[in-house]
Amino acid sequence: MEPFRKHTGCVAPLDRANVDTDQIIPKQFLKRIERTGFGEFLFFDWRYREDGSDDPEFVLNRPEFRSATILLARRNFGSGSSREHAVWALVDYGFRAVIAPSFADIFYGNAFKNGLLPVRLAQEDVDYLFEQAGPGYELTVDLENCRVRDSRGWERSFELDPYFRTMLLNGWDEIALTLRHEAAIAAYEAGGRRPEAGGDRLDG
């Protein structure tokens, strides 16, 4: 998983609340077992018309937002079912961060496991970003300092659990975290002394 420290990119404003995981990646595309290849189906029912052509009114089909790597959304993003494929689709499309006032809990946790940074900002800050988000508008998301800023002087901090922050900063998923204790696990399986409770802390 690619580490996330600081990212600057164009912002795509998805001005919708309660975007659920079936809208992010419809159920007919869940047959793949790999984590890749889902980007082309992201927001499928909104991006494409019934004849398969692009809907020019949808934000990701507008030329000025096609290269966006930061998604801006309204409250309760990622609600609905717990499918991890929703995060896979966003990452495969090229998004590195999603900014919204709130996220569904399961989606929020899945994002960190797959290298996507969900940033919660106050409603008034999200409103400001929607007002600014036009052609060429960029944000810098700084995970090291937990700050978001634009080039116009606007800047805000965001809160993040230290555990999730450390996972993203180092590019660790849960498997990588387990492998950090590979020597202790091998010793235990070989009949050695059971490691003491506590282990390494991720804080800091």
**Cβ atoms of residues 67 and 10 within 8 Å:** yes
- Determine the Cα–Cα distance for residues 166 and 172; give it in Å rounded to an integer: 8
Contacts of 109 (CB under 8 A, 6+ apart): none
State the pLDDT at residue 82: 86
Q: With the C-alpha atoms ordered 111, 87, 147, 73, is the resulting torsion angle positive or negative?
A: negative
Radius of gyration of the CA atoms of the chain, in A: 19
pLDDT of residue 197: 56
- Work out the end-to-end distance of the chain between its first and last CA atoms, rounded to an integer number of angstroms: 20
- From the list 38, 166, 41, 74, the residue with the least C-alpha distance to 112 is 166
Parallel, antiparallel, or unpaired for β 70-72 and 6-13? parallel
| Tokens matching residue 196 | 């003491």
Q: Report pLDDT digits (tens) over 159-198.
A: 999 999 999 999 987 655 655 556 666 666 777 555 565 5
- pLDDT value at residue 170: 94
Task: State the DSSP code for 57.
Answer: T
Domains, the chain, ordered by start: 6-143+156-189 (3.20.19.10)
DSSP at 194: P
Residue with tokens 């998604």: 71
Provide the pLDDT for residue 52: 93
pLDDT of residue 175: 58
Ranges of the chain with pLDDT below 70: 174-188, 192-204
15: number of Cβ within 10 Å: 10
Looking from the CA of 95 toward its CB, the CA atoms found within 13 Å total: 32
59 CB-side CA count, 13 A: 19
Q: What is the DSSP letter of 130?
A: H
Question: Which residues share a beta bridge with 7?
Answer: 141
Please give the pLDDT value at position 34.
81
